[in-house]
Chains A and B, each alone.
Chain A
């Protein structure tokens, strides 16, 4: 099939009469969010995530975040969690926090093979905890760049996803998050996700509910 198929398809497309050029683009439509200030960004991020049943807690600093996390862990009865090791989570030293609170804090580096990691993240943890690369106020969205510190399944497989968001990482619109990601990495990362609230569906009798395949709940801890 291979090369001939490519040549065939592109050949036909290029042979076509295309004198009828597409008209020039109209001006890019405006986005109101771009003008939002810091407090408004925090407010809108919270409001939009809450619309998707996301729960948002705002804490003053890292110590406050750990305190809140302990509260959540006790309420939920956590025994084990899987964490990312991104630069938002790293300074929190969740390993030490886990030892203090009697919670198994697992991370990708504890596993040498994909299958063992999958077993843990699918079946052995009560929650997945991640930081963010950026957050977007426009829709209460978090942007995660996936790499060795941010495994794909941490924010997906556990039934509860806790996401830690320093408020200075909240931007108005997706374009600004993407711009920063491209600048920092010199191009698109292998895998990027824009996550807005928990997994959901309305496929049975149009009854909406959360937690179809991914997390049923998302809790955001805003720091700052």
Chain B
């Protein structure tokens, strides 16, 4: 996938004029939010359940290396082949190499944000192994070559007419129809044959249980179950923060993930793999590979603020309720991760230069933090990013702010710490500044300050400064 995060502002502007996107954003997030509320209310104490989830994820972040080692030990003991990959290239090379060794013409893909992050599909397809997305939404956007609009419903905004034409063109649909159910059924039949002949399935991982060495997948469609039942080889790829301490923790997180993600009490299928198939099983994989991918995360782990991003379980609750996401949709984020979790994760993974719009496009209202079942403090992290970016932190690949901006703020700081000069300056500047005022407000300025006024006003400078008024008041008192 081509990364378009640098064009955040342009794409956001286009999307705010896109009537289709606007219609879906007006409709879908409120419905999911309501369903989320209803499903959370089935907990006797929803706040306690959310807080417990946050505690589990907090513990994962603190004990990450030990939990990964425990997972590896237990998974390996049961026959899972655990593979570590430092970079996207290493992970992709491993999967490609395995597919070549097994001589498979194609693999089916279960929905995996990590695979989009590392560009696994392109790496396979460019080297002669077809990679077929099988989650209905992912299947559609793969054919359309479009980024995800929404974490859970990546193609939910695509018009049925467009899907009809696409399916006709690709030979997936025999008779044209605009019925979503008939379109879905056509995709079912097309992909069913792929599942039937499947020799290698590639899926993501929702949780990896350290205590038992178990891989957990949460889904509604059944495509992931097929990828773990039909072929002889199963490849599960996970970013390293997916681990949880115990099976009890996994069950609690499953309850939270379903409720916060889709507003369901339970997804249709939760599947647990502990090693390859048992003796005597006629289906199921003969080999299970679990690829643990770092892709820059270990370097961030030393930063006690940044590493809190590893709490995230990718439920998407933050996006559905975010006042920015619900206006602009998923496209402006320009990559695999949309909404507030994308605003946190993308700058860390891609570096701050080129992604700084992401951590600035936020009002710090904190509603994301209030719904998060993993205890992510989004506003705190975004403020931290802004501060690190202003300082120009090379570890976060930040170039720092432009010279002009820095000089301006240095000048301001110098003035503000010299009271006498400040007062003199204010007096001299007042008539010049107020010349631009209209109805008592300043709404524009000269370069480089004009950007600030794009969405803000200031009252004009008062006739007298606070200090002058104070002095006069004290003077009157003295006379009286």
- Which residues of A are at the interface with B, using a C-beta cutoff of 8 A? 1-2, 5-6, 8-10, 12-18, 20-23, 25-32, 48, 52, 108, 111, 114, 117-119, 122-123, 138-139, 141, 146-148, 151-153, 156-157, 174-175, 178, 187-207, 209, 211-215
Chain B contacts for A27, CB-based, 8 A = 48
Q: How far is the CA of A152 from the CA of B234 in the complex (A)?
A: 14
**B223 CB, nearest partner CB in chain A, Å:** 5
| A201-B220, A205-B180 known; A151+B283 contact, CB < 8 A | yes
Is A152's CB under 8 angstroms from B229's CB? Answer: yes
Bound: A157/B196 CA distance, A: 9
Q: Top 9 nearest A-B pairs by Cβ distance?
A: A214-B222, A148-B280, A152-B229, A203-B137, A12-B298, A213-B222, A13-B65, A139-B266, A199-B222
B273 at interface, CB cutoff 8 A: yes
Q: Which residue on chain A has the smallest CB distance to residue B77?
A: A187
Contact of A200 (CB < 8 Å), options: B158, B221, B273: B221
Contact, CB under 8 Å: A156 / B226: yes
- Contact between chains at B195 and A213 (CB < 8 Å): yes
List, sorted by A's number, 26 A–B pairs whose CB atoms are closer than 8 Å: A2-B84, A22-B59, A22-B63, A26-B52, A151-B284, A153-B230, A187-B274, A191-B277, A191-B281, A191-B284, A193-B269, A195-B269, A201-B220, A203-B140, A204-B163, A206-B24, A206-B31, A206-B153, A209-B180, A209-B181, A212-B136, A212-B184, A212-B188, A213-B134, A213-B222, A213-B223
Name the residue of chain A whose CB is nearest to the CB of B48: A29
Within 8 A of A (CB), among B258-286: 265-284
Chain B residues engaging chain A, CB cutoff 8 angstroms = 24, 27-28, 31, 43-45, 48-49, 51-52, 55-56, 58-59, 61-65, 68-69, 78, 83-86, 90, 93-94, 134-137, 140, 153-156, 158-160, 163, 180-181, 183-185, 188, 191-192, 195-196, 212-214, 220-223, 225-226, 228-230, 232, 240, 247-248, 251, 254, 265-284, 292, 294, 298-299, 301-302, 304, 307
Q: Assess the A195–B55 pair: CB atoms within 8 A.
A: no
Taking the nearest CB of chain B, how far is it from the CB of A96, in angstroms? 23
Q: Which of B136, B221, B281, B298 contacts A9 (CB 8 A)?
A: B298
B268–A198 touching, CB < 8 Å: yes
Q: A114: which B residues are within 8 A, CB to CB?
A: 232, 282-283
Q: Are B278 and A147 in contact (CB under 8 A)?
A: yes
Q: How far is the CB of B210 from chain A (nearest CB, A)?
A: 12
| CB pair A193 B272 closer than 8 Å | yes
Of A10, A22, A211, A215, the residue contacting B68 (CB under 8 A) is A10
Say whether B85 contacts A16, CB under 8 Å. no
Query: In the bound complex, do residue A196 and residue B281 qualify as a contact, i.e. CB atoms below 8 Å apart?
Result: no
Which single residue of chain A is at the shortest CB-CB distance from B69?
Answer: A10
Contact B279 A148 (CB under 8 A): yes
Known: A5-B86, A148-B278, A190-B274. A25 touches B43 (CB 8 A): no
B266/A194 in contact, CB under 8 A: yes
Known: A16-B301, A195-B268. A29 touches B155 (CB 8 A): no
Q: Which of B270, B279, B304 contacts A17 (CB 8 A)?
A: B304
Cβ-neighbour of A189 out of B48, B64, B274 (below 8 A): B274
Chain A residue at smallest Cβ distance from B183: A204
Q: Pick the contact of B90 from A1, A10, A32, A52 — CB < 8 Å?
A: A1
Please state if A16 and B184 are interface contacts (CB–CB under 8 Å): no
Which listed residue (A146, A157, A214) contacts B221, Cβ 8 A? A214
* Nearest chain A CB to B337 CB, angstrom units: 19
Min Cβ gap B415→A in Å is 38
**CB-based contact B274/A29 at 8 Å:** no
Contact A13 B68 (CB under 8 A): yes
Choose among B61, B134, B280 the residue that contacts A147 (Cβ–Cβ < 8 A): B280
| B273 pairs with A214, CB closer than 8 A | no
A209 → B minimal CB distance (Å) = 5
Contacts of B192 in A (CB 8 A): 122, 213
Contact of A199 among B51, B248, B268 (CB under 8 A): B268
B229 touches A188 (CB 8 A): no
**When the two chains form the complex, which single residue of B49, B222, B282 contacts A117, counting CB atoms closer than 8 Å?**
B282
- Are B251 and A178 touching (Cβ within 8 A)? yes
Query: Are B225 and A203 interface neighbours, CB within 8 A?
Result: no
A14: nearest chain-B partner, CB-CB: B65
> Measured between C-beta atoms, what is the minimum distance from A152 to chain B in Å?
4
The residue that B283 contacts in the complex, of A13, A22, A117, with Cβ under 8 A, is A117
Which residues of B have CB within 8 Å of A26? 48, 51-52, 55
Name the one of A138, A148, A187, A215 contacting B212, with C-beta atoms under 8 angstroms: A187
Q: Are A118 and B230 in contact (CB under 8 A)?
A: yes
What separation, in Å, do the CA atoms of A22 and B220 have in the docked complex? Answer: 33
Contact call B270/A29, Cβ cutoff below 8 A: no
Contact assessment for A206 and B188 in the assembled complex, using a CB-CB cutoff below 8 Å: no
Contacts of A6 in B (CB 8 A): 84
Contact of B55 among A22, A31, A156, A192 (CB under 8 A): A22
